[in-house]
Amino acid sequence: MASKKGKTICIFSAKGGVGKTILTTNLAGICEKLKRKTLIIDLDLTGGGLSVALNRFNQRTIYHLVDDLSNNRRKDYLEYVTKYDDYIDILASPRDPRQGNKIDAFFIDNIIEQASYLYDVVLIDMSHVLNDINLVTLDKVDKILFLMTNDPLELKNMKSIMSIFRDLNIDKYKVILNNSRDTNKNYFSLFDIKNIIKANIDYTISPKFHIKKIDSYIMNGQIVTLHPRCESIFAKDYLTMSTMMIDILGEGLVARK
């Protein structure tokens, strides 16, 4: 387990369905390649199912952790997480969305803080809604990865969120343009996008990372970046995602032996 406080990173967007969950799992795969113990927290509390997507099931979820915290009977944190493999654990969202709705934002800070003492990296998958839970998360984490696609409606939403971020003095974000979800969407040039959102685009995932067999990966609970041939087949985008993580985790980071 982590010897010093790990980095907490959330994956957010202005619109649903832009590829946050897929990116979260792929970044977890990159962290594993860097030999970093990683916890994925599924904070998409009513529509998540990340542990189900990765074919991992556990009786305990974040709902039980919050319930036990609020009743002063929390067990070891690790009793609430689901193991994916030797490097990746998941704090699953509730299977029943009604339980998701009962989770009080008050506990989120504590849940993220505790995780940062146990893991090198904490990746938080979110919904795109600006509710209390997401606002606490955006405030708490070390870094926000703001994922977007080249979509007119989304760019309009993103513009408003960027201005909210400016009002709240939030500048700890990186913007990622995801061109891998829909390969034929190119309404706006990079220059236009930057002008609309009034922010820089820090990383771009290219159309080459569009995975035709994404459904079979999901059916098999596989993480694309952990596929033995991912690094060679998707060299450019693999490098982009690795660079992203290395930038966030700290300069000069080298893979642990």
Ligand X SMILES: Nc1ncnc2c1ncn2[C@@H]1O[C@H](COP(=O)(O)OP(=O)(O)OP(=O)(O)O)[C@@H](O)[C@H]1O
Chain positions contacting Mg ion, by CB under 5 A: 20-21
Question: Torsion-angle region of residue 124: left (phi > 0), alpha (psi -120 to 50) or beta?
Answer: beta
Return the one option of ligand X, Mg ion, none that residue 209 interacts with (CB less than 5 to 8 A, by type). ligand X
Nearer to ligand X, 13 or 120 (CB): 13
186 DSSP 8-state letter = -
CA atoms within 13 A on the CB side of 162: 20
- Residue 50 or 118: which CB sits closer to ligand X? 50
Give the residues lining the site for ligand X (CB under 6 A): 13, 16-22, 44, 47, 127-128, 180-181, 209-211, 214
Q: Read off the tokens for 83.
A: 């193991």
CB of 21 to Mg ion, least distance (A): 3
Q: Shortest approach of Mg ion to residue 23 CB, angstroms? A: 9
Q: How far is Cα 69 from Cα 212, in angstroms, rounded to an integer?
A: 42
Indicate which of ligand X, Mg ion, none lies near residue 13 (CB less than 5 to 8 Å, by partner kind).
Answer: ligand X
Report the partner that residue 37 touches, choosing among Mg ion, ligand X, none (CB closer than 5 to 8 A by kind): none
In the complex with ligand X, the residue whose CB is nearer, 44 or 120, is: 44
Task: Say how many CA atoms lie within 13 Å of 226 toward its Cβ.
Answer: 22
| Distance (Å, whole) CA 142 – CA 120 | 13
Torsion of CA 180, 181, 182, 186, to 10 degrees: -50
Which of ligand X, Mg ion, none sits in contact with 152, Cβ below 5 to 8 A by type?
none
Q: CB of residue 42 vs Mg ion: minimum separation in angstroms?
A: 9
Per partner kind, with CB cut-offs from 5 to 8 A, the member of Mg ion, ligand X, none near residue 211 is: ligand X
Distances (CA, A) of 14 to 11, 79, 88, 95, 152: 11, 33, 27, 24, 12
- For ligand X, the closer of residues 67 and 202 by Cβ is 202
Q: At closest approach, how far in Å is the CB of 17 from ligand X?
A: 4
CA gap 124, 231 in Å, rounded: 24
Q: What's the min distance (Å) between Cβ of 254 and ligand X?
A: 27
**Which CB atom, from 47 or from 152, has the smaller least distance to Mg ion?**
47
